[in-house]
Structure 1
Amino acid sequence: MSGLSIGQVAERTGLSVHTLRFYEREGLLAQPVRRGPAGHRVYDEDDVGWLGVCIRLRASGMPLTDIRRYTELVRAGQGNEAERLEVLREHRERVLTQRHELDECLKLITHKVGIYESRLGLRDHVPDCADQTL
């Protein structure tokens, strides 16, 4: 039986072996992980691709419960695309809100950096700001 070992998948995805086992236990894989003759996990390229999806969803802040729900819908096959779409739309809204909040934080930080660079002579002018003492 050819395929990838758990160590190879860990190396390719950047996930730890422990995390891969956790994802499997939590039902986050789109298909059951095959086992070799000795009982070792054997992954294929589809598994690696799906893990890439999970990694991105997780990195964007999607809760494991939502990833599990989305995985269950994918695993169930065609006919539930509207539900999959709803899971992704809801998450997209959370990501857009988070991105907006981060943009606002970045504006403040950039402004403050400008103030301190100006005070230290690293910048020619002070950015406009009502409170330049913080």
Structure 2
Amino acid sequence: MNDTKAHLIKAWPYQQDKMKLPVGNVESALPFYETHLRFHVVNRAETPFKSALLQRDDLQIGLEENGGDPTQDGCFFEVDNVQKAFDECKATGLTKELSDFSFQKYGDINWKVFFIVAPDGLCYCFGQRQQ
């Protein structure tokens, strides 16, 4: 593992499926994911919907032109170092899309988190478990 960047460990979708995240236009959405979130395209499809499979580390997500509302979806990404993840995003030029850090509790786990809203409307939360 490269210790200069955050490692994505796991992803939980806000709605049903992290492999079918809705976007209006896959082609126009991809540059944000490649440039700012450092995913790369591993596959594209035209049916049943135009889609792209993206990967970063051992984690995959999918973007689809499936008619869903992107403002109601996204993912929570568990990372090994939330500060590094934040710094990486800032280094790629993201500023207004980034929230400040906050602390949230889900079940019995405390998380240090920040949020990003992509231009396509999908919201992503990056979080690290706290002791």
With the shorter chain as reference, the TM-score category is under 0.3
TM-score normalised by the chain length of structure 1:
0.23
TM-score normalised by the chain length of structure 2:
0.24
Q: Which has the higher contact order (CA 8 A, sep 6+)?
A: 2
Whichever structure has more strand as a proportion of its residues is 2
